[in-house]
Amino acid sequence: MNFELIENERIGEKYYRLHHRSGLTIIVYPKEGFNSTYALIGTNFGSLNNHFIANGREITVPDGTAHYLEHKLFESEEGDAFTQYAKTGALANAYTSFEKTCYLFSCTERFGESLEILIDLIQSPYFTPETVAKEQGIIGQEIKMYDDSADWRVMMNLHQAMYHNHPINIDIAGTVETIAGITPEILYDCYNSYYNLNNMVMCIAGNVSPDEVLEIADRKLKDSSAFNTESIFPEEPYEVKSNYTEQRLPVAVPMFCLGFKEKADNKQPVSIKEGICTDILLEAFANESSSLYRKLLDKKLINSTFDANYLGGLGYRAVVFEGETYSPSEVAEYIRDEVIKLKENGISQEDFEIAKRSLYGRTVSIFDSPSAIASNVISLEFLGNTVFDLLEETANVTLEDVNERLKDQLDPDNYSLSVIKGIDD
């Protein structure tokens, strides 16, 4: 089997891609001059995928199952994977997001041994009633920790205010009550449905060679036949569920998230071009040099925590502004007023050029970090794109593209405001 060489002349970068006979897509991104290696393997399975059809069988799982499975996969009949990584000196971790689960390690030596551990980890599920029950207390404590985190609660409360039915309004780890319903059978259902190698991507970046990776992959990866799994998402109204939600936690300064919900397709993800247009739009409208930011700062309505970002995936899309403020409702009204003006006038050529250069610079900087390379490569592979597509789309986007995109975003009448106030406020 031979790797396909993928190059980009614009920045003189290249990497190697292979659809391995096992079904796994393997990306190897050598970086000259780097002493460390970063490996990441991901499956297209996250907290949102709690209802699906696998080979004709409809399955619904408890909230938090994807995150629970991530924890349990580190255990095997031979012991804990973290113990094995400790012997090679690698730093290992894993994470579950709304849409994927990833396992990773970084190392400066004994790379081959660590890669073997990673491959064994994702191919050797071991779930028993005893081991599954043991994890409930550990994850229960993690859930309680997030329940006390103002940063997390202000965001999740926003999702719950914006969305009626979509599972984006459910905490990634679930609740203490929902994880109590997770069984070995449920974990095996999810593993067999989503951890098929045809549904996974591995990227290794840094001090690495394709030949070394291929030798280990040929030896360790088990062949897997394609497995047909389709995620099911409920219909979601365009209108937000609620305009306002508030919670009290011990915070020094009140926090807010203001989300503008937009139309989203359950089958069609956000394209690279759409995401880039939104990023440029928000860079021009709300970055630290923007008129909006300066005015809010001058009025002492925000501080340096103010930020704007985009939330987008299958069945959900929203532009979100967040930060700390003593006057959340006033900030929200001011942003809405400015949004109305923005919708009327669009982004200017000058603001567009500045924002585009800034975004392009940040995109180029991805290629200086093996971890950034790997995480972006895997996210884009799941969308059917390459990391170089991201670079080229950013270089080629126009002002007209951004202002056209604006037409579908930032509806000033379709918003939710989430606020976290102090206990005594």
Catalytic residue status for 70: yes
Q: Which two tokens stand for residue 18?
A: 């292979």
CB contact at 8 A, 325 and 154:
no
Q: Which two tokens stand for residue 322?
A: 């967040």
Residue 196 sits at φ, ψ, to 5 deg, of -60, 135
**Cα-based distances in Å from 157 to 46, 151, 300, 311, 323:** 19, 10, 25, 14, 14
Quote the CA–CA distance of 23 and 199 in Å, as a whole number. 8
Quote the CA–CA distance of 123 and 221 in Å, as a whole number. 8
CB contact at 8 A, 247 and 158:
no
Q: Which residue out of 9, 13, 58, 70 is catalytically annotated?
A: 70
Quote the CA–CA distance of 116 and 217 in Å, as a whole number. 8
**Cα-based distances in Å from 298 to 270, 323, 382:** 35, 15, 43
What is the identity of the amino acid at 334?
Answer: Y
CB contact at 8 A, 412 and 133:
no
51-54 and 57-60 beta bridge pairing: antiparallel
Name the residue among 339, 359, 341 with its Cα closest to residue 401. Answer: 359
Handedness of CA 3, 46, 139, 69 (dihedral sign): negative
Residue 348 sits at φ, ψ, to 5 deg, of -75, 160
CB count, 10 Å around CB of 11? 13
Q: Could you give the residue numbers annotated as active site?
A: 70
